[in-house]
Amino acid sequence: DVKVTQSSRYLVKRTGEKVFLECVQDMDHENMFWYRQDPGLGLRLIYFSYDVKMKEKGDIPEGYSVSREKKERFSLILESASTNQTSMYLCASSFLGLGEQFFGPGTRLTVL
Amino acid sequence: AQSVSQHNHHVILSEAASLELGCNYSYGGTVNLFWYVQYPGQHLQLLLKYFSGDPLVKGIKGFEAEFIKSKFSFNLRKPSVQWSDTAEYFCAVNEDNDMRFGAGTRLTVKP
């Protein structure tokens, strides 16, 4: 079974803090993704990566950055957290081109 | 890029009722289609997928979906829902490695 793990299920941070969300997958997938999930808006893509050290902006990259130093690990960074970044963050991975994505359990981030 | 519409935001059914959730994408092309489900407190998991071939696709837990190319639709169906089907359902379309999700439909099944 594909396993995608995320470093925290729940996280509470203060405005202005730097926040790191970590994601690890164990299936040697080329693609990795970060989404945020908000009620009524579905999943919106923040960033994705199709290879080590490669990254592409998704639909809502503002206020976020990412890092992929190893194939199995994809990090999402909030340089200076703001209250409008309070959300559920989902990591996913997939093989290149096949489309089916496998999701982690999510991190519910609250920024106070 | 594709956009995905899910027509119902919240559906409430009684147990044993039949279910159909609508999903449309914006334009024709070579697409892969997916339905994901998110049970309360759990991660998103794949219900079923369509890549090619028979447009009627069967998935887990008695769900099926029909791809109608001329209507750009991929509706999800289940003949008889159970209380345990209470969840949020997401339709997704992948074109050229670009995956787009619908806003989701929350299904509540009353016992």
Spatial distance between the Cα atoms of B15 and B111, rounded to a whole number of angstroms: 6
User: Do the chains contact at B104 and A50, CB–CB below 8 Å?
Assistant: no
- The answer to whether the beta carbons of residues A61 and A47 sit under 8 Å apart is yes
List, for residues A14-38, the tens digit of each pLDDT value: 999 999 999 999 999 999 999 999 9
pLDDT attached to residue B7:
87
DSSP result, A19-50:
EEEEEEESS--SEEEEEEEETTTEEEEEEEES
User: Do the chains contact at B94 and A40, CB–CB below 8 Å?
Assistant: no
- A107-111 and A10-13 as β-strands: parallel, antiparallel, unpaired? parallel
pLDDT attached to residue A2:
65
Q: Calculate the alpha carbon distances from B47 to A13, B33, B60, B85 in Å.
A: 34, 11, 6, 12
Residue in chain A nearest B102 by alpha carbon:
A42
Spatial distance between the Cα atoms of B90 and B4, rounded to a whole number of angstroms: 10
List, for residues B41-76, the tens digit of each pLDDT value: 899 999 999 999 999 999 999 999 999 999 999 999
Residue in chain A nearest B93 by alpha carbon:
A99
Spatial distance between the Cα atoms of A31 and B29, rounded to a whole number of angstroms: 22
pLDDT level of residue B29 (50, 70, 90 thresholds): confident
Residue A97 in contact with partner chain B when CB distance is under 8 A: yes
Q: How many helices (H) and strands (E) does chain A have?
A: 0, 11
Residue in chain A nearest B32 by alpha carbon:
A99
| pLDDT at residue B94 tops 70 | yes
Spatial distance between the Cα atoms of A34 and A43, rounded to a whole number of angstroms: 10
